[in-house]
Amino acid sequence: MNKKRRILTGDRPTSRLHIGHYVGSLENRVKLQDEYEQFVIIADIQALTTHFEHPEILKQNVYDLCIDYLSVGIDPEKSHIFIQSMVPQIAELTVFYSMFVMVNALKHNPTIKTEAAQYGSKDLSYGFLGYPVSQAADITFCNADLVPVGEDQLPVVEVTRKIVRRFNSLYKPVLKVRETLLGSCPRLVGLDGNAKMSKSIGNAIFLSDDEDTIFAKVKTAVTDPARVTLKDKGSPEVCIVSEYHKIFNLGEYDNICSMCRNATIGCTTCKKRLSEVLDTLLSPIREKRKYLDENPKYLKDILHYGSEKARTEGSNTLENIKEAMSMQYF
C-alpha cells in the first residue's frame, strides 16, 4: 500500500476565521484530507509576533480556531490538528534554519513588509522579522509535500524552499522542496474594497457571524460609486458585491451582472441576495460551532492527540537533520 503524501497548513490564532480563509485555503483542506495525510498547525508562537503584549487571549483563540476547522469539515480522523508551542522540535528546527537566512532577505520579504506596514511596525522584533524561518520549520518538521496557502504567503514559502535547497546542498538531501496550492480565490477583497479581507482591518465576514450580522455587514460593502439611483446603469467590474457573487453565487452571476448593467436590479436587492447566499453557506457551519462550543473536552482531546502525533514526526525529522549535520554526539 502506497504511503499517503503529506500536507502542512494552518493559521495563527489571532481571531476567528472569515470567508476569505474559507475560499483561500479551508475548502482545499477539506477536499484534500481524503487524499493526503494532513497536519494542521495552530501557530500560537507566531501569533506572539503581533500579540506578545496580550498572550492571555491566545488560549481562547486556539480553541476558537480549532472549532472553525472542525465546523467547516476538517476531520480529526484524517487530519492532525496541533498546537505549535506543544511541539518543541519546531522551535529547535527554527534555530538551525536561522543560520541559512540573511537578515536583509527577511527585511525585503514582501509578506514581512506588508504585515509590518499593516501593524505600523518600523522597528521589527527578532521574532517578527524571523517568522518566515519559523514557518519553514512548521512546513518541514513533518516533511510535507504540499502547502495550501493564500496568495500573500507565497513569498514566505519561497524562504522555505531556499532553506531546503541550501541545507540539502551543504549536508545531505534529507528535506523536500515543497509544492504550493492556491485556493479557488487566493485573495478575497474586503467589504471596504481593501485589497484583502482581514480580521485586523475590520472588513471581514466571519464564519461564525449570524444571519443579522451578515446582512448588516453586506449592506456596507462598496458598490459602483457612479451608480447613485436605481435608474443608473452599473458597472459590475468595479463592485465588490458583484465580485462576491462571482465567488459564492456563480450560478446567478451572469444574470446579476446583466441586470446591473441594464439597471433592472438595485444595489439593495443585489446585496440582499448575496446575504442570503452567504447565510446559506455559513448556517451549517454555525450549527456545528454550537455543538463544539458545548464540548470543550472533545476539543482538548483532538488537540492533545494531534500535538502528540506532531511531536513524534518532529523528533524523526530533527534526528535526520542532526545526523546530516554530524551533530549526534552520543
Q: What pLDDT shows up at residue 231?
A: 92
Q: What's phi and psi for 314, nearest 5 deg?
A: -65, -40
Q: What pLDDT shows up at residue 306?
A: 98
Q: Between vectors from CA 213 to CA 208 and to CA 215, what angle results, nearest 5°?
A: 120
- DSSP state string for 57-74: GHHHHHHHHHHHHHHHT-
Cβ contacts of 27 within 8 Å, gap of 6 or more: 183, 184
Amino acid at 184: S
Which range marks the domain in which residue 217 is found?
A: 211-289
Q: What pLDDT shows up at residue 52?
A: 80
**105 and 243 share one domain:** no
- Is 87 within the bounds of a domain? yes
Beta strands across the sheet bearing 79-83: 79-83, 37-42, 6-11, 146-149, 179-182
Q: What pLDDT shows up at residue 133?
A: 93
**301 and 278 share one domain:** no
- Is 198 within the bounds of a domain? no
- Is 205 within the bounds of a domain? no
When divided into structural domains, the chain yields a total of 2
Eight-class DSSP state of 326: T
**119 and 243 share one domain:** no
Q: What pLDDT shows up at residue 120?
A: 64
- Is 320 within the bounds of a domain? yes
**147 and 248 share one domain:** no
- Is 195 within the bounds of a domain? no
SS3 18: strand
Q: What is the pLDDT along the chain (330 residues), one digit of tens a residue?
A: 568 899 999 999 998 999 999 998 899 899 999 999 999 999 999 999 888 888 888 999 999 999 999 999 999 999 999 999 999 999 999 999 999 988 888 888 787 777 777 666 667 888 888 888 999 999 999 999 998 877 777 887 888 999 999 999 999 999 987 788 877 777 889 999 887 888 778 899 999 999 999 999 999 999 999 998 989 999 999 999 999 999 999 999 999 999 999 999 999 999 999 999 999 999 999 999 999 999 999 999 999 999 999 999 999 999 999 999 999 998
**25 and 173 share one domain:** yes
| Residue whose C-alpha is closest to residue 84's, from 48, 60, 57, 126 | 48
**31 and 160 share one domain:** yes
**284 and 300 share one domain:** no
- Is 163 within the bounds of a domain? yes
**271 and 312 share one domain:** no
CA 246 to chain centroid: 21
We report the CATH number of the domain holding residue 268 as 1.10.240.10
**142 and 13 share one domain:** yes
Specify whether the CB–CB gap between 80 and 310 falls below 8 A: yes
**94 and 242 share one domain:** no
Residue entry with cell 502542512: 8
- Is 196 within the bounds of a domain? no
**260 and 232 share one domain:** yes
We report the CATH number of the domain holding residue 23 as 3.40.50.620
**12 and 75 share one domain:** yes
Q: What pLDDT shows up at residue 106?
A: 85
